[in-house]
Amino acid sequence: MTGEVATQPRWRVHLPTADQTCVRLALPRLGERDPWPLARVLAELASLGGRPTERTRALGSGRGTPVIASSELRWHGCPLAVESFHDVGGGAGELAISAPSWDELTALLPGEDAYWELIDTAAMAAGARYGAVVDGEPLETEEPAGVAAWEEMVRRHLGVLARPGSFGAGPALAAPYRELPLSGLAVLLR
């Protein structure tokens, strides 16, 4: 192996997503004067090269945070859909980031790190509390409390994003995969 340099593979994991790769993030309750989470996320994704392909859509009362807001982007040649959902009564919300299937992402992106940087940046901008890599299942409306609840969440999803230490020693069904430094979340994959 003289003269060869060991390099880290561009993709270290394969997520079995069929039609799309979707991460759902739980958002905190917003104050009356807080900016829309989607607006903050779009501004941060622009710094990573995300460009809107159409106008942002919003549905709500015309005052305060919209109940639903969404935007389509192109990032590294990859189409993205970013949507936020908020409780009409001012409760906590959810942010969804949808990209093509994992197999398609491997062909479009320069490497896996770019994808997790996108998710980390969005989670930080939105103030995400926890989340999941979903395969059609909705995100839990309440943050799991205790290892058993986290294990149930891991059973339902391809992966979980959580604050380190919030799940005790860690769910037995998942392995810590990587830390997302901007948001402070850890990715656990089953």
Nearest Cα neighbor of 120 from 149, 90, 97 is 97
- Contacts of residue 108, defined as CB under 8 A and 6 or more positions apart, other chains included, come to 76, 77, 78, 100
Nearest-angstrom CA–CA distance, 50 and 178: 23
119: left (phi over 0), alpha (psi -120 to 50) or beta: alpha
pLDDT band at 7, cuts 50/70/90? very low
Q: Where are the domains of the chain?
A: 20-145
Mean pLDDT of the chain: 86
Name the more confident of 171 and 32: 32
Q: Nearest 10 degrees: CA dihedral of 111, 114, 116, 117?
A: 160
Given this model, what pLDDT does residue 172 score?
A: 62
Given this model, what pLDDT does residue 90 score?
A: 61
CATH code for 20-145? 3.30.70.260
pLDDT for 1 beyond 50: no
Strand 159-162 to 93-100 pairing: unpaired
Given this model, what pLDDT does residue 6 score?
A: 46
The 10s digit of each residue's pLDDT in 134-149 is: 987 888 888 888 888 8
